[in-house]
Amino acid sequence: MPIRFFIKQWLMPPGVLFVLLLAAWWLRRQRPRLAALCFAAGLGGLWLMSLPLVVQQAARLLETEPPLATADWAGLASKADAIVVLGAGRERGDPAWGGGDQPTATAFERIRFAAQLAKASGLPVLTSGGLHYGTPPSEARLMADRLREDFAVPVKWQEQASRTTWENAQFSAKLLQPLGIRRVVVVTQAWHMQRSRWCFERAGFEVVPAPVGFLGRDHARPFAGLLPESRAMWQSGQLLNEAAGLVGYRLFY
């Protein structure tokens, strides 16, 4: 797992863009034209990734599922049998919480939305997410704790073995389908929903998408989103990773 993660970080932006910049420096004397091309590609890629406008436009290509209308939340019980919340990582040893691990901000956004849906519909909740490098607690456990303690929403099932979106779906199916549950509300980021729905449908579920955290909307950023922002770099990385995941999943699964 660490080796695969290391390779992935250098093959995907922004890692590969830094590689291009290093290549430009290395080739500047022997192959000046190739060095100039590498420099332009590396610097240009980093600049585009830093622009909120690029994030917004790219997100619209991935965020194909519309948001759930608030008026429909209470009626979810007629369309599904359970709510599945997908993990999104964890923060290690936050001293503000006594050194305990916590869900990431992205995961917490999903937790909060799932809590509202559960309260409105009365549907039971499953949290899905395994360990980071084999170290407990699992993402599923962390999310279940926060749902119970922060939102007074009990979690009926915890799927604690998955490491990928594909495994989220497959392992959730092993827990839920023997109980006759084949209709689920899936809660995840809007840009991640397209791949998530694909995985859960192939695991035998009927999916009611419940996307949250839309990036492809007008967030009223200054100068029309044409000024570089550090947050846009992270968001661009997430979108690029998702686009690669969509292609890779269809090839390998």
Domain locations in the chain? Answer: 2-62+228-252, 70-212
Q: What is the DSSP letter of 237?
A: H
Q: How many CB atoms lie within 10 A of CB 163?
A: 16
Which residues does residue 208 pair with via DSSP β-bridges, in sequence order? 185
% of the chain at pLDDT higher than 70: 99
Nearest to 111 by CA among 160, 159, 155, 81: 155
Q: Is 94 helix (H, G, I), strand (E, B) or coil?
A: strand
Q: What is the pLDDT of residues 137-150, one digit of tens each?
A: 999 999 999 999 99
Rounded to 5 degrees, φ, ψ at 129 are 165, 135
Q: What is the pLDDT of residues 11-68, one digit of tens each?
A: 888 999 999 999 999 999 999 999 999 999 999 999 999 999 999 999 999 999 999 9
Local confidence band at 253 (pLDDT 50, 70, 90 cut-offs): very high
Mean pLDDT of all residues in 214-243: 90
> What are the residues whose beta carbons fall under 8 Å from the beta carbon of 8, sequence distance 6 or more?
none
Q: Is pLDDT of 2 > 70?
A: no
Tell how strand 206-212 and strand 183-189 pair up.
Answer: parallel
Contact 190, 211 (CB under 8 A): yes
Burial of 48 (0-12, 13-18, 19+ CB in 10 A): middle
Local confidence band at 99 (pLDDT 50, 70, 90 cut-offs): confident
Rounded to 5 degrees, φ, ψ at 43 are -70, -40
Per-residue confidence (pLDDT) for residue 119, from 0 to 100: 98
Per-residue confidence (pLDDT) for residue 52, from 0 to 100: 94
Local confidence band at 1 (pLDDT 50, 70, 90 cut-offs): low
* E strand or H helix that includes residue 119: helix 105-121
Local confidence band at 157 (pLDDT 50, 70, 90 cut-offs): very high
70-212 fold:
Rossmann fold (3.40.50)
